[in-house]
Chain A
Amino acid sequence: MQYGMIIDLNRCVGCHACTIACKAEWEVPADKGRNWVHRLGPSNTPEGLASTYYPGLCNHCNEPSCVPACPADTIEKTFKDAKTGKTKTMEVAATYKDPFNGTVQIDKDRCLGCGACADACPYGARYVNTDLVNEEIGGEGVADKCSYCMPRVEQGLDPACVQTCLANARIFGDLDDPNSEVAKYVKKGAVGLTSAAVNIGPNSRYYGNKKDMHLLTSTSTPMEMPSASLRRSLMARMKPGFNKAKNLGFLGLAGAVLVKGLSEDDQD
């Protein structure tokens, strides 16, 4: 199973209800967002004058760059398939990809607040909520992002943004189920925002007419992985050391990477 969301730009009217419903649902700070709507255009495209929207959110990627970026201690976590009851135990840091439903989640109580995951996301889908500080761990806040509203979905509810969408422009479901509406959209041509350099399997996808899709993809596709992600493997390798210094968040990530990077250079 892989949850995914389709945004149908033919329907979207750019009303922003999705972003505000999300703020209310998940207590998102006023100046931050787990999702966003950017108005695009009116601009000239090869298909003619166009104006549309980029309603963005976490892509719950197949190969999320945020997950390996997390420097927190790993723990053993047992996941359970909601449908079959099957379980699977994995070593995870404070952010992980659920092996059963395919969503990327954050274990907030263990988050260091270092922001490495936010830096690593090419879509800017994560932020650090500085209103929350975990005194036991330190750091500057707690990372936050779209969870595809899993706590709601588990209760049989729609994600908050889907429920409030007056246009039915947001469609949520299992991309692996060929009979699902989302899978049908993919068949019709719904695409994620990917480029040669950023091709990590986004599961939030967009569908629209040619001119709108041209405007969306030409303005909103990330063309390179963030520089933080280039340090991703480096950070992953430095994890054991990093874990010993739980208050490292205070040092700042850049400093930590630099220090650790120097010591790793010795080994190379």
Chain B
Amino acid sequence: MSLKVTRRKFLQTASLAAASVPLAKVVSAENGFVRKPFTPPGSSAGTTTVTGGICEMCFWRCQLVGKVRDKKLVKLEGNPKSIDNGTAICARGNAGIKLLYDPDRLKYPMKNVGERGNPKWKRISWEEALDECAAKLKAVEEKYGPHGIAMFPHGASAKYPMHFFERAVGTHNVSEASFFQCRGIRDTAYVSTFNTAPGEHVDMANAKAILLIGCHFGENVHVSHLKRYLKGLENGAKLVVVDPRYSASAAKSDIWVQIKPGTDTAFLLAIMNYLIENNKYDKKFVAAHCDGFEEFQKGISHASLDWAAQICDIPASQIKEVAELLAANAPNVSIHPGRHVSWHGNDFQRLRAHACLTALLGAIGVKGGFVKPKGPKVKGISWAKGHHDGAHNLKEMADKYHFAPPGTPTELIRDACITGKPYPIKGCVIWGQNPMQTIPKPQKTVEALKQMDFVMCVDVMPTDITMYADILLPEASYLERYDYIKKGTQWNFADKHEQFISARMPLVEAMFERKDEVWITNELAKRMGHADKIPVNSLEEKVEKELASAGLSIAQLKKEDGIHIQPGKDPYGVSEDFEVLLYNEDIEDSGYPGVPTYIPVEEVPKGFARLVYGRSPVHTFNRSQNNVWLYNAMPVNPVWLNDESANKMGLKDGDEVSMVNSEGVKSTFTSVVKVTPGIRKDTVYMAHGYGSKNPMLTVGKGAGIDDQALITKIAIDPETGCSGMRNNFVKLVKSGKALDIPA
């Protein structure tokens, strides 16, 4: 039977339900809602539906509605009007109310009257907090220059303050984890090949074959992205998954390539060389759009199947099988660009190879290929760009990392902090990021922070980094503020072409003394002498102005249940001047290989295994660790260990273990072993983001092992300056004894 409801009916049900609930025991004066004491009423009883929510439990940002009863948000659901996520939201999205009402959330501005790392908090007024933040930052600016301030932002709320510090104050020293520890390499590698950042724009829904390198969908969840993937599988797309582990995606694959970690580029080169040698590439596309084919062909001609098979520790026949499968289904193949790609410090070359393979297959602008959606335009409003020269740009001073994403590579900032060279960095603003669990070798972050004159943090939760703040400011969550404009198209390009524009609007009012980013930033700006440059007076005004650029308003969006939908455009096709640089001279001139090149990574030392991490479907990195619903869904991050190895080591499924890495760094907490044939012997795996240390996190503290603390060997990707984080080796420790992991 069909249970489809129209949007109108959906929105009506709240009021109908309130009228139909029998028997009064508790009656709310507000809405006449009555509840029986032992029967949960359900989210539609006595609630009103508030539209305009945009999720930020992760950064895909699905469109929400809230069910509100007596001013309390009782449930979040996907907005039925959405042509992106629809009524679906993931576990984290559903658990948003447990972030909103987390009793451990920051409530008031606080001053650290203890020491950094071992704080003692004293509640202070906003006035005092802002005065102190502004005075301390101003003092740093006057003594060391604006570049004496570093900023670590993350999330929608950090954009406006980031622009303030970059553009009005004038520091280059801004490092976003979303670039330097995540996807920045992918973006600049594709820009250097296709002249466009790829996002995750592969048309999987209409593909005949999908190649995933490391992507583990299902463990990694972004709703409309997974809809594309699942639609593709439903339509019969062949799935190839390259992963040392039998991941959630590998379990749905037609071919699982159990590759040796770090060697993916060799695998891709061999496929491309095979396609060229056997005339199985798209000659027409290459002739029309690709530059440097000869240099490219020559540059990868060494990459035979046997060469790669030996490096990747997989059969040559399997590489051939994958190449044949891709060729047979070309051009309708999705070569997925990946998302978190900062793995081994050789990643720019790998991502270049992803892009080149896409081009060789002609898989651009065609069904199933690399296709960018044609979405609506909405102009962002922020701080005006100032006239700051590159004089104190660490990247330019070092003449390194010529293909870095925007901002400054994290290591350059930390090194400057610790050495004082080429100049001191003495003020630090951390906004929505938790560098203790985003940046490898947290020991170094601590060292950088300890030498600061001043550290301020703005967050919703008392994350581990907030223990190092001098002043800690409580922020309104994504459910309590305006900000992000979410726009795009329908997720399946086979459907009617439509565009949508929506804006984050508060579902409930912020409680306690929590404030939004525009208010906080503007108050700092006024106190730091930048009042004249303030672009908007409130977040609401910012969103109103941004919407106006698309002919919309907040009132109009509300009238349209939070989402404006308009006719869209066919995204298929490739413009005549679309150019693919198979060989990129600029890259070569900067001192890096101009043709995608495999750069070997360090071998696993005897007795150790390589530590590889990934996503859990119920957590967004460390951000959601204290969410009581999500915590209970997966309280620890099991350590995947090969079953034969486990047998030799005397470990059983569920045994409690800790870890020690090859540099002697021990994990603070423990986890459990997951014994499985689904992982290589030279690799152990766990979900990232566990092992919080802040005692203010009463749910999440001490749960699981923090992989980031064990990533102490830092591999910097030479082209981009991004952190490679899969070059560390560990042993498992049981009952105090470090156990050798057999090869």
Chain A contact residues, CB within 8 Å of chain B: 10-11, 13-17, 19-21, 23-27, 30-31, 41-44, 49-52, 108-109, 111, 132, 134, 142, 149, 151-153, 155-158, 160, 162-168, 172-174, 177, 180-181, 212
For residue A166, which residues in chain B have a CB less than 8 angstroms away from its CB? 85, 88-90, 221, 223, 226-227, 230
Q: Which of A26, A157, A166, A173 has the most chain B CB atoms inside 10 A of its CB?
A: A166
Closest partner residue, chain B, to A28 (CB atom): B40
Q: Is residue B294 contacting chain A, with contact meaning CB distance below 8 A?
A: no
Query: Given A15-B617, A41-B678, A180-B1, do A157 and B248 touch, yes or no (CB 8 Å)?
Result: no
Establish whether residues A165 and B88, one from each chain, have CB atoms under 8 Å apart when the complex forms.
Answer: yes
Q: Is residue B646 contacting chain A, with contact meaning CB distance below 8 A?
A: no
Closest partner residue, chain B, to A44 (CB atom): B677
Query: Given A42-B678, A156-B9, do A20 and B91 touch, yes or no (CB 8 Å)?
Result: yes
- Report the minimal beta-carbon distance from A29 to chain B, rounded to whole angstroms: 9
Establish whether residues A164 and B87, one from each chain, have CB atoms under 8 Å apart when the complex forms.
Answer: yes
- Report the minimal beta-carbon distance from B598 to chain A, rounded to whole angstroms: 28
Q: Is residue B112 contacting chain A, with contact meaning CB distance below 8 A?
A: no
Q: Is residue B13 contacting chain A, with contact meaning CB distance below 8 A?
A: yes
One of A31, A42, A156, A168 near B13 (C-beta < 8 A): A156
Query: Given A109-B36, A155-B13, A155-B16, do A26 and B42 touch, yes or no (CB 8 Å)?
Result: yes
- Report the minimal beta-carbon distance from B223 to chain A, rounded to whole angstroms: 5
Complex Cα–Cα for A177 and B1 (A): 8
Chain B contact residues, majority secondary structure: mixed
CB-CB contacts below 8 Å: B676-693 with A:
676-679
CB-CB contacts below 8 Å: B219-255 with A:
219, 221, 223, 226-227, 230, 233-234, 246, 248, 250-252
One of A24, A44, A151, A157 near B3 (C-beta < 8 A): A157
Complex Cα–Cα for A15 and B629 (A): 14
Q: Which of A16, A27, A109, A212 has the most chain B CB atoms inside 10 A of its CB?
A: A16
For residue A109, which residues in chain B have a CB less than 8 angstroms away from its CB? 36-39
Establish whether residues B217 and A157, one from each chain, have CB atoms under 8 Å apart when the complex forms.
Answer: no
Closest partner residue, chain B, to A26 (CB atom): B40
For residue A164, which residues in chain B have a CB less than 8 angstroms away from its CB? 77-78, 87-89, 94
Establish whether residues A42 and B676, one from each chain, have CB atoms under 8 Å apart when the complex forms.
Answer: yes
Some 28 contacts from A to B, beta carbons below 8 A apart, are: A13-B218, A13-B248, A13-B617, A15-B221, A16-B91, A20-B91, A20-B629, A20-B633, A23-B94, A23-B629, A24-B43, A26-B42, A30-B629, A41-B246, A42-B246, A42-B251, A42-B678, A43-B678, A51-B248, A108-B39, A151-B44, A155-B16, A155-B44, A156-B5, A157-B44, A164-B78, A164-B89, A167-B230
Establish whether residues B628 and A30, one from each chain, have CB atoms under 8 Å apart when the complex forms.
Answer: yes
Chain B 489-517, CB-CB to A under 8 Å as 1, else 0, gives 00000000000000000000000000000
Complex Cα–Cα for A67 and B424 (A): 73
One of B42, B92, B95, B676 near A43 (C-beta < 8 A): B676
Establish whether residues B5 and A157, one from each chain, have CB atoms under 8 Å apart when the complex forms.
Answer: yes
For residue B38, which residues in chain A have a CB less than 8 angstroms away from its CB? 108-109, 111, 132, 134, 142
Complex Cα–Cα for A42 and B223 (A): 24
For residue A132, which residues in chain B have a CB less than 8 angstroms away from its CB? 37-38
- Report the minimal beta-carbon distance from B219 to chain A, rounded to whole angstroms: 7
Establish whether residues B42 and A30, one from each chain, have CB atoms under 8 Å apart when the complex forms.
Answer: no
For residue A152, which residues in chain B have a CB less than 8 angstroms away from its CB? 42, 44
- Report the minimal beta-carbon distance from B43 to chain A, rounded to whole angstroms: 5
CB-CB contacts below 8 Å: B159-195 with A:
none
Known: A24-B43, A164-B89. 8 other contacts (CB 8 A): A24-B95, A25-B75, A30-B98, A52-B251, A132-B37, A164-B87, A164-B94, A166-B227
Q: Is residue B109 contacting chain A, with contact meaning CB distance below 8 A?
A: no
Establish whether residues A27 and B89, one from each chain, have CB atoms under 8 Å apart when the complex forms.
Answer: no
For residue A181, which residues in chain B have a CB less than 8 angstroms away from its CB? 1
Complex Cα–Cα for A162 and B3 (A): 10
Complex Cα–Cα for A156 and B119 (A): 53
Complex Cα–Cα for A225 and B95 (A): 35
Q: Is residue B59 contacting chain A, with contact meaning CB distance below 8 A?
A: no
Establish whether residues A43 and B629, one from each chain, have CB atoms under 8 Å apart when the complex forms.
Answer: no
Establish whether residues B676 and A41, one from each chain, have CB atoms under 8 Å apart when the complex forms.
Answer: yes
Establish whether residues B251 and A156, one from each chain, have CB atoms under 8 Å apart when the complex forms.
Answer: no
Q: Is residue B209 contacting chain A, with contact meaning CB distance below 8 A?
A: no
Closest partner residue, chain A, to B74 (CB atom): A24
CB-CB contacts below 8 Å: B81-128 with A:
85, 87-95, 97-98
Q: Is residue B10 contacting chain A, with contact meaning CB distance below 8 A?
A: yes
For residue A108, which residues in chain B have a CB less than 8 angstroms away from its CB? 36, 38-39
- Report the minimal beta-carbon distance from B251 to chain A, rounded to whole angstroms: 4
Establish whether residues B10 and A17, one from each chain, have CB atoms under 8 Å apart when the complex forms.
Answer: no
Establish whether residues B94 and A17, one from each chain, have CB atoms under 8 Å apart when the complex forms.
Answer: yes
Establish whether residues A16 and B617, one from each chain, have CB atoms under 8 Å apart when the complex forms.
Answer: yes
For residue B618, which residues in chain A have a CB less than 8 angstroms away from its CB? 15-16, 20
Query: Given A42-B676, A166-B88, do A20 and B43 touch, yes or no (CB 8 Å)?
Result: no
Q: Is residue B17 contacting chain A, with contact meaning CB distance below 8 A?
A: yes
Establish whether residues B629 and A14, one from each chain, have CB atoms under 8 Å apart when the complex forms.
Answer: no
Chain B 366-380, CB-CB to A under 8 Å as 1, else 0, gives 000000000000000
Closest partner residue, chain A, to B87 (CB atom): A163
Closest partner residue, chain A, to B675 (CB atom): A43
For residue A41, which residues in chain B have a CB less than 8 angstroms away from its CB? 246, 251, 676, 678
